[in-house]
């Protein structure tokens, strides 16, 4: 068992140090504070003031003659061998006396100089403990440092079950085994099996890791301890380790039980062995490792932990015997999104026309938390429209609200800007429609959004795609460049509206070359590594400067090639581009069906055949999407 070092600086040490400073202050500083300001003069001045009778009173002792002038100033001088002093003072009529220094009683001195300052100091310490450590009120709290402040949930009050969690069937299957073990341990011990000591839930934010832990507690009907990893990290060295010991002590007393540590990466980060490392964090981690798999054992205590940074955790924490099982809680697929929407929709009133499958397709890539927000935004929109039920249009609009923000009704574009945005968005849609394998267009709009977007082209896949070919990725890049290409073809100028398109196209092209092995020059070589895959997926190049230069050249060439491809498609379909842009300029928002009805009037080579007038009724759907930079769902 790893020996945990004793805290270097305990709380008693700080209290003792403060009391010592207080004692030194009393000894050295207090006499100076108590003394009044006294002006020192020579004896001749004293005699002169006596003759002038400008002295009110005189006090003498062996070492000083202290007298107060009629001006209110207090003076002092040293005694002289003056046998006639008393006679002169009697003659002048000035009151004088030997100084009598009253000595306070021992008890009063003890109270004023020691007990009262100590009481004040401890009261201040109590206040500071509440501010620094979040301690609750009540007597004895000043001695509660190092106590775990985990929330303990009684099994009878648990309200979340597995039926309340949708879209994570594999995770629920893994965790249901834990529940079964807590209910029927003999079923497993009879065959010699033992349950994992720890289960680590990993996945992007908002996918339901914490909710899954609550569902396990609700299904298991056992005590449930919940604490965040950051609550272990304290200012004083050793406090975090003490909290870990206290948490496991309480858990063992209530075994069988579940301990849930949210955001465990706050205390479980890799130890680098640097001298300047956080000693408190390392001690806390060491204590957690010992408690999870030490000589003492923790029979009947199952640890659940959640994190979205599994790559940052210490290897000793992840080994079998501590966290034996890792349960991925990923973003839901199409079927999972549909089930999640249905779960959250149980608490609102819906019209009969609501199609969750369509909403789930539109919300591709959304997490469980975002899907819950979509349902809530749909309900809020129905309330704003003074309706008692949520309809399909409410939910479609809420998808766009969650992704791109609300419609910005007060932003008025000039006629030239509005027409430019219309060509930009139709450029995206037209390039996508003329390429094989591209997702069909769902909606196009040029109504600005609060996210800063001036227009929006929504493409929705019929089914989730998990593998993309080189052709698929090149088509995506061409579609992304279609907006800028349409501006160039129609007006011969380019604008800043393609900023997001350029960023996405460049990122995709770089990934093809440095991560996906789709470069003829480099082949199947990984030149880039991904860090924090659940938190944005930042990448780091792992190659020489010369190779980086070669990658940059290939990225530029790839994006430029697909831009020329998009431009060629638009030139071949110039009449369709003009007609669709005019229609979008007039209607501001059109559906994918409207777009395809007009496009189908133009053959693929754009020859002038059968271009009769087309009358299309506007869609009843009122959702308006987002940016002049295209957003794809």
Query: Could you list the active site residues?
Result: 425
Three-state DSSP state, 549:
helix
Please, what's the b/e burial string for 72-107 (b: 16 or more CB within 10 A of its CB; e: otherwise)? eeebebeeeeeeebeeebeeeebebeeeeeeeeeee
Residue 301 to residue 286: CA distance in whole angstroms: 18
Query: Is the backbone of residue 138 left (phi > 0), alpha (psi -120 to 50) or beta?
Result: left
In terms of C-beta density within 10 A (0-12 exposed, 13-18 middle, 19 or more buried), how is residue 278 classed? Answer: middle
What H or E segment, with its residue span, contains residue 177?
A: helix 169-183
Structure-block tokens of residue 357? 């499958």
Strand partners for 445: 456, 589
Q: What one-character DSSP code corresponds to residue 167?
A: S
**Pairing status of strand 74-77 against strand 224-228:** unpaired
Query: Is the backbone of residue 207 left (phi > 0), alpha (psi -120 to 50) or beta?
Result: alpha
Look at residues 476, 369, 370 and name the one whose alpha carbon lies nearest to residue 428. 476
Task: Measure Cα distances from 48 to 45, 98, 99, 142, 448 in Å.
Answer: 5, 21, 22, 62, 94
Look at residues 478, 435, 441 and name the one whose alpha carbon lies nearest to residue 461. 441
Residue 446 to residue 420: CA distance in whole angstroms: 10
Helices (H) and strands (E) in the chain, counts: 22, 16
Look at residues 547, 541, 516, 520 and name the one whose alpha carbon lies nearest to residue 529. 541
Residue 360 to residue 366: CA distance in whole angstroms: 9
Report yes or no: 301 and 198 within 8 Å, Cβ to Cβ: no
Query: Is the backbone of residue 567 left (phi > 0), alpha (psi -120 to 50) or beta?
Result: alpha
Strand partners for 303: 198, 259
Cα dihedral 230→235→241→246 (10° resolution): -80
> Residues with Cβ < 8 Å from 423, sequence gap 6 or more?
486, 487, 490, 491, 577, 581
> % helix / strand / coil in the chain, to the nearest 5?
50, 10, 40
Look at residues 595, 406, 593, 562 and name the one whose alpha carbon lies nearest to residue 483. 562
CA dihedral sign, ordered 19, 20, 24, 25: negative
Report yes or no: 456 and 449 within 8 Å, Cβ to Cβ: yes
DSSP-assigned letters across all residues of 385-443: TT-SSB-HHHHHHHHHHHHH-SB-TT----HHHHHHHHHHHHHHHHHHHTSTTPPPEEE
């Amino acid at each position: 068992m790893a020996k945990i070092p004793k805290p270097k600086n305990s709380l008693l040490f700080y209290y003792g140090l403060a009391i010592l400073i207080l004692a030194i202050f009393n000894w050295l500083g207090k006499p100076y504070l108590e003394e009044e300001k006294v002006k020192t003069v020579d004896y001749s001045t004293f005699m002169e003031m006596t003759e002038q009778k400008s002295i009110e009173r005189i006090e003498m002792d062996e070492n000083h003659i202290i007298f107060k002038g009629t001006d209110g100033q207090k003076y002092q001088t040293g005694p002289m061998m003056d046998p006639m002093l008393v006679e002169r003072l009697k003659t002048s009529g000035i009151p004088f006396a030997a100084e009598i220094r009253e000595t306070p009683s021992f008890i009063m001195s003890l109270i004023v100089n020691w007990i009262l300052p100590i009481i004040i100091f401890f009261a201040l310490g109590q206040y500071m403990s509440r501010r620094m450590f979040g301690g609750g009120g009540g007597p004895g709290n000043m001695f509660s440092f190092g106590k775990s402040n985990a929330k303990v949930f009684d099994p009878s009050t648990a309200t979340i079950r597995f039926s309340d969690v949708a879209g994570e069937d594999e995770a629920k299957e893994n965790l249901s085994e834990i529940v079964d073990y807590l209910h029927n341990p003999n079923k497993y011990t009879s065959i010699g099996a033992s349950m994992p000591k720890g289960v680590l839930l990993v996945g992007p934010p908002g996918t339901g890791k914490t909710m899954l832990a609550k569902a396990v507690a609700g299904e298991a009907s056992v005590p449930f301890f919940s604490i965040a990893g950051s609550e272990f990290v304290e200012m004083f060295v050793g406090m975090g380790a003490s909290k870990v010991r206290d948490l496991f002590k309480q858990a063992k007393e209530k075994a069988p039980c579940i301990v849930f540590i949210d955001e465990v990466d706050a205390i479980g980060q890799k130890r680098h062995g640097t001298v300047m490392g956080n000693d408190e964090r390392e001690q806390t981690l060491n204590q957690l490792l010992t408690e999870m798999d030490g000589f003492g054992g923790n029979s009947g205590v199952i640890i659940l932990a959640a994190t979205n940074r599994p790559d940052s955790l210490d290897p000793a924490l992840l080994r079998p015997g501590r966290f034996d099982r890792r349960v991925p809680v990923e973003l839901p697929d199409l079927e999972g999104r549909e089930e999640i929407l249905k779960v959250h929709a149980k608490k609102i009133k819906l019209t009969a026309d609501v199609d969750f499958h369509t909403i789930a397709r539109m919300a591709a890539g959304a997490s469980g938390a975002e899907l819950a927000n979509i349902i809530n935004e749909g309900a809020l929109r129905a309330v704003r429209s003074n309706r008692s039920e949520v309809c399909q249009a409410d939910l479609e609009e809420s998808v766009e609200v969650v992704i791109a923000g609300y419609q910005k009704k007060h932003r008025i574009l000039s006629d030239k800007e509005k027409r430019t945005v219309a060509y930009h968005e139709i450029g995206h849609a037209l390039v996508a429609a003329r390429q094989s394998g591209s997702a069909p267009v769902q909606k196009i709009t040029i109504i600005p959004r609060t996210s800063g977007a001036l227009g929006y082209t929504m493409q929705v896949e019929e089914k989730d795609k998990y593998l993309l070919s080189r052709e698929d990725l090149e088509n995506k890049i061409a579609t992304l460049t279609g907006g800028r290409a349409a501006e160039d073809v129609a007006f011969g100028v380019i604008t800043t509206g393609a900023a997001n398109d350029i960023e996405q196209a460049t990122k995709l092209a770089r990934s093809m070359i440095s991560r996906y092995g789709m470069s003829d020059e480099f082949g199947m070589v990984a030149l880039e590594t991904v860090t924090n895959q659940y938190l944005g997926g930042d990448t780091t190049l792992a190659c020489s400067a010369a190779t980086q230069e070669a990658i940059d050249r290939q990225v530029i060439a790839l994006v430029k090639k697909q831009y020329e491809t998009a431009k060629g498609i638009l030139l071949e379909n110039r009449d369709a581009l003009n007609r669709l842009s005019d229609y979008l300029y007039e209607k501001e928002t059109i559906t994918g069906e409207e777009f395809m009805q007009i496009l189908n009037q133009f053959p693929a080579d754009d020859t002038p055949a059968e271009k009769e007038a087309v009358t299309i009724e506007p869609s009843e759907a009122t959702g308006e999407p987002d940016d002049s930079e295209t957003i794809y769902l």
